[in-house]
Each structure stands twice: as C-alpha cells, then as structure tokens.
Structure 1
C-alpha cells in the first residue's frame, strides 16, 4: 500500500523534470550582424544566427528605416542555422528597427526584434561621388610624332645642285642645246650657221688680200 501512495508523487516529479526540458528544446537567436545596438557604416545585408537549423518555410525579416519605410531587398535566404536578408543600397544615417520571425527545427515559430544605428553614410556617399566625378587617367602612352625631320641646309644645297646638273646635262654628259637656247634666246643651229658664214667670210677676205698683193 505504501508503494501505491508514492507512485503519484514519482510521476509528478518526472513530469516536472520533462516539462522544462521540452520548453528548452526550442531554438533561439544567438547573434546577428549588425548586432543589437551596434553603430557603424551602412550594411549590405543582415544576418541572423540561431542555435539550431531553421525551416526554410515561414522565415520573415523586416528592417525599418528612420522614416518608417522598409529597406529590405527580396526574401530572406535560409542556410542551416543562418538567415540572411539583403538590404537596399544607400542607407541613410539613423536608427533602424529589425523584426524577425522564423520556424525552428521542431516546428515551433519564434520571433524577436532589435535595432542598430547607421553613421557616416552621408560622408561615404559624398566621397564616392567625388571619385566618380574625377576624370580617369589615360592608360595609353602618348604616341610619338611620325613627322619626318626637316632637311638640313647641307641636304637642301646638295638637292638643288643635283637638280641643276640633271637639267643641264643629257645622257652622254654633253651640255644640252635646249639649255643654251633658253639662256641666249637663239636656237643652237643658228649659231652653227653664223659660225660657218663668218668662217667663209674671213676666208674670202684673206684670199682677196693675197691676190691684191700679188
């Protein structure tokens, strides 16, 4: 009879032990990037890390900007114990609120919220704008001028003498009659006729003079 009285007490004690063990089986958030309360530059994405694997179905992450608008980009991506959420570009300075809801490995939904602060976004945007405004330096080396150098005075004089010689000398090396005709204005054959006539006249005069003396 004594053992029957102690049986309910033993069952109750076992139940008290099992209930906390079951309650502690649910997964929980163990960290995030940015972390809760962090202050820094604007992140490109938000990563949540949990104590156990997260179900791919049912994950939801919301990130709200200081003006109340959502800055999430697309749906969250689940990879084992991590949930990654892309964020919009060019986040402004201020406090951002994060709210998340996922389904743990045992099928139990869990949720939570935290916040982080962005600083220096305006200065970073101004620096990037200044870099884009600067002209890019040309990577091509300047091409050397292909113009030929001017001829020296010696080369110019030699070219002129060679041209004069070609104009006044024919293939046999004799002076061209055309050059003489051009210089005097009288054809070359006329000079030949005149020379013959003068020679004949001088011969006639000499013969007449000799005859008169005899």
Structure 2
C-alpha cells in the first residue's frame, strides 16, 4: 500500500512539474505592453507620433510600423526607430480626419518576432491635407526601416488587440495557461481514480 501511494504521489508531482515547465516558456515571450494612441482611441486631432512599449528591448534592425487608412494605404512616410524597449514612429505631417490602423512588426533582442495591429480614429482636423496612399491603387505598401532588409515575420491582427496593453497578448505559438490547468486537472482525476481502484481491490482481498 505504501509503495502504491508513493508511486501515485511521484506521478502527481511529475505531472505538476511538466505543466510548470510547459507554461514558463509562454510567459517568457516578448510582448507589447502599451501603445499610444491606445487601441480604439478617438482623437480630436492628428497625433504627432505613435509610441509602442514592449516588455523587452527591441532590435532596431527589425522595426516596421505603418499607419494605414480605411483603404489600406500608408499615410506616414517616416520610419520607426527603436530605443531599448520603446519604438517610436514620428508623424511630421498631420493626418486628416478618418479611421486608421497601426500595423507593427518587430523583433526583440532575443530574436522573438512580435506583430499585430491596433486602430484609432481622428474626429476632425480641418487643417490636415487629405490622407495619401502608398500606391495609386490604394493598396497597402510596407514601409520598413532602412535597416530591416531581411524578411520580417508576417503581420497578424492582434488577437486581444497584447489594446493599450499587449495587442498581441498571447504568442501564436504558445499554449494558453488554461489548457495546462485542464491537463493538470485531468491528470489529478486520473490519479485519484487509480488510487481509489487500488484501495478498493486491496480491501476486497
């Protein structure tokens, strides 16, 4: 009986440690902490810059931030720059009233790609010139920084929107924590059922 109990306890501890080991890499991934203008913000006038703050330093060689209009055209000609964990896209020419998306694609210092998108609206800015698109047809044209000649990971819309905090909240390749809790609960239930069956068999002999 003691041997059986010890074996079940060891199995339970092993399952718990495996769950923790699987959850740690997901929580260690780089992510967006905040963005200004915030996701869904309604602004009275054109912003002068877009600032993204991450939880880890960003590699300045792989930084792309674009602002696109409702037709997908790029409306800002400047390149974004990275300093530590902060990425800044300056907006020198005011943007006209309308709905816009911020598309970002960066790589952290530990080579982890981060991408996503947020939205904001400019309620009115009569002095601003009409928004210009990146091409005559209005198709989106990426404007990566001069140093980001290497192909970057594709832009993906933010699932939670990691959003003023983490539009990219969860890394697409990581397993959500709730999945690990379900697995652990199932493991505990299986061990409990096995322990009950062993005790019942021993009591019948």
Q: Does 1:56 align with 2:71?
A: no
The aligned residue for residue 47 of structure 1 is: 51
Work out whether residues 71 and 88 of structure 1, in 8 Å CA contact, stay in contact via their aligned partners in 2: no
**Alpha-carbon distance in 2 for matches of 1:7, 1:101:** 44
- Higher relative contact order, structure no. (Cα contacts within 8 Å, ≥ 6 residues apart): 2
Moved over 4 A (4+): 1-9
- What do residues 135-192 of structure 1 show as CA deviations (whole Å, max 9, x unaligned)? xxxxxxxxxxxxxxxxxxxxxxxxxxxxxxxxxxxxxxxxxxxxxxxxxxxxxxxxxx
Deviation at 1:117, TM superposition (A): 0.7
Q: Give unpaired runs (5+ residues) of structure 2.
A: 130-205
The aligned residue for residue 23 of structure 2 is: 20
Q: Helix, strand or coil for the counterpart of 1:36?
A: coil
Deviation at 1:71, TM superposition (A): 1.6
The aligned residue for residue 104 of structure 1 is: 108
Deviation at 1:103, TM superposition (A): 1.6
Deviation at 1:88, TM superposition (A): 5.3
Count of aligned pairs between the two proteins = 125
Matches within 5 A, 1:60-209: 60-87=64-91, 89-122=93-126, 124-125=127-128
Residues 7 and 64 from structure 1, CA distance in 2 versus in 1: closer, same or farther, beyond 3 angstroms?
same
Deviation at 1:94, TM superposition (A): 0.2
Larger Rg, first or second structure (1 or 2): 1
TM-score (norm 1): 0.51
Q: Name the Cα RMSD after superposition.
A: 2.3
Higher helix share: 1
The aligned residue for residue 210 of structure 1 is: none
